Amino acid sequence: MAVILSSIANLLLFALIGYILTKLGKLNAEHAKILSALEVWVFLPCKMFRGFSSTFNMDYLRSKYAILISGIAILVISVSIATLLVPRFVKEKRDRPIIKYSVLISNYGYIGYAMCESVYGSAAMSDMMFAALPFSIYVYTEGYRMLTGQEKISVKRMINPIFVAIFIGCFFGITSLSLPSLPSASDAVLYASMSPVEIFLGVVNKITIDASACMAPVSMLLAGITVAEFPVKEMLSDKRVYAVAFIKMLVFPIAVILILSQFLPKSFVIPLSMLFLVPCGLNTVVFPKMCGGNYKLGASIAFVSILVSIATMPLCMKIIDLVCK
């Protein structure tokens, strides 16, 4: 439990730093755009590349295919339930997509991967990335469509740095290719024995390692900057936010953990559960903001879910340990 709490505290403190610096006027929306661009174009793709290139091969597919199938099944079932229930409980039509998305999609790409790696290790994080593939497809197709109010799904959204990095990582994994590692700076003999191409590829390898390490801190800083755009009073005034946060952060993940633990081994339950027990995704802010839509409700849900996660994430992880013994 101490490891879980320290990992959660470490990440949430970065969010707090982003929040405080924004409130003090040291950071603003322009800084967030720069950090977001770096996250999408550099840090997260490098993390995805390293995850898939190190684990993705035929043996991995044969032993872990149930993770992907389970992810698809959970997505289909949860989307069906949300599509049926959200319109019945949310009167305002313009708010339905935001609430539906918030219940379905966690901030697994930024917070989830970092949390999973910190608590359960890099192997579990790679499994989580594998399980998240159907959710990522949903986010950039139907998720993007409903949050931006478009009539048709934009398949072009699938061609982005993250999916390109996944494809390249899978290629490296399947073909057993790997980037060379650079020797220590003091080892002149080894450097002299390397060709210019090997040195260049070694530098690229080092870049992916260093960029991957930036993914988690930057994502949490972004979360803090984003929610700091609105007054706390306004974000806490909508009662619906608490209901969404309760369902998303407690009911949903506990149900997934208890159900999956009956059918799958612990090594599968962990990455699948981690998709749901982290705070709500920030795309409810990012996507509507891109087209001038309403993103205040999304920011409120994200803010409250981050606060609630301080208690719910350790609880859900403890439940994982108990039911998967």
Looking at per-residue pLDDT, the higher value among 269 and 118 belongs to 269
CA 207, CA 248: separation in Å to the nearest integer?
36
Q: Which long-range contacts (CB under 8 A, 24 or more apart) does 56-61 make?
A: 56/126, 56/130, 56/169, 56/170, 56/172, 56/173, 56/174, 57/173, 57/174, 57/176, 58/174, 60/173
What total of structural domains would you count in the chain?
Answer: 1
For residue 73, the model assigns a pLDDT of 92
Residue 80: is its pLDDT beyond 80? Answer: yes
Report the candidate in 51, 72, 57 with the shortest Cα–Cα distance to residue 166: 51
Using one digit for the tens of pLDDT, what is the confidence trace for 97-117? 888 988 888 888 777 887 888
For residue 185, the model assigns a pLDDT of 66
Q: Identify whether 132 is part of a domain.
A: yes
Q: Identify whether 222 is part of a domain.
A: yes
Q: Which residues pair with 106 in a beta bridge?
A: 280
Q: Identify whether 313 is part of a domain.
A: no
CA 210, CA 11: separation in Å to the nearest integer?
18
State the chain's mean pLDDT as an integer. Answer: 83
What single-letter DSSP state applies at residue 295?
Answer: -
CA 249, CA 243: separation in Å to the nearest integer?
10
Q: Identify whether 306 is part of a domain.
A: no
Q: Identify whether 197 is part of a domain.
A: yes
CA 226, CA 110: separation in Å to the nearest integer?
14
SS3 24: coil
Cβ atoms of residues 317 and 277 within 8 Å: yes
Looking at per-residue pLDDT, the higher value among 50 and 154 belongs to 50
Q: What percent of the chain has pLDDT over 90?
A: 11
Using one digit for the tens of pLDDT, what is the confidence trace for 161-203? 888 888 898 899 888 888 888 777 666 677 777 788 888 888 8
CA 257, CA 259: separation in Å to the nearest integer?
6
Using one digit for the tens of pLDDT, what is the confidence trace for 132-163? 888 888 888 888 888 877 777 767 777 778 88
For residue 289, the model assigns a pLDDT of 66
Give the model's confidence band at 2: pLDDT under 50 very low, under 70 low, under 90 confident, else very high: low
For residue 28, the model assigns a pLDDT of 84
Q: Identify whether 322 is part of a domain.
A: no
Region 301-313: what's the mean pLDDT? 86
Residue 292: is its pLDDT beyond 70? Answer: no
Looking at per-residue pLDDT, the higher value among 148 and 5 belongs to 148
What single-letter DSSP state applies at residue 282?
Answer: T
Q: Identify whether 253 is part of a domain.
A: no
For residue 72, the model assigns a pLDDT of 93
For 1, how many CA atoms within 13 A lie in the half-sphere containing its CB? 8
Report the candidate in 103, 105, 98, 46 with the shortest Cα–Cα distance to residue 71: 105
Q: Please give the C-alpha separations between residue 180 and each of 194, 195, 210, in angstroms, as whole numbers.
A: 10, 11, 15
Instruction: Give the tokens for residue 178.
Output: 């790997």
Residue 301: is its pLDDT beyond 70? Answer: yes
Report the candidate in 162, 114, 131, 136 with the shortest Cα–Cα distance to residue 268: 131
Q: Identify whether 88 is part of a domain.
A: yes
Domain of 144, in residue numbers: 2-230
For residue 13, the model assigns a pLDDT of 85
Give the model's confidence band at 325: pLDDT under 50 very low, under 70 low, under 90 confident, else very high: low
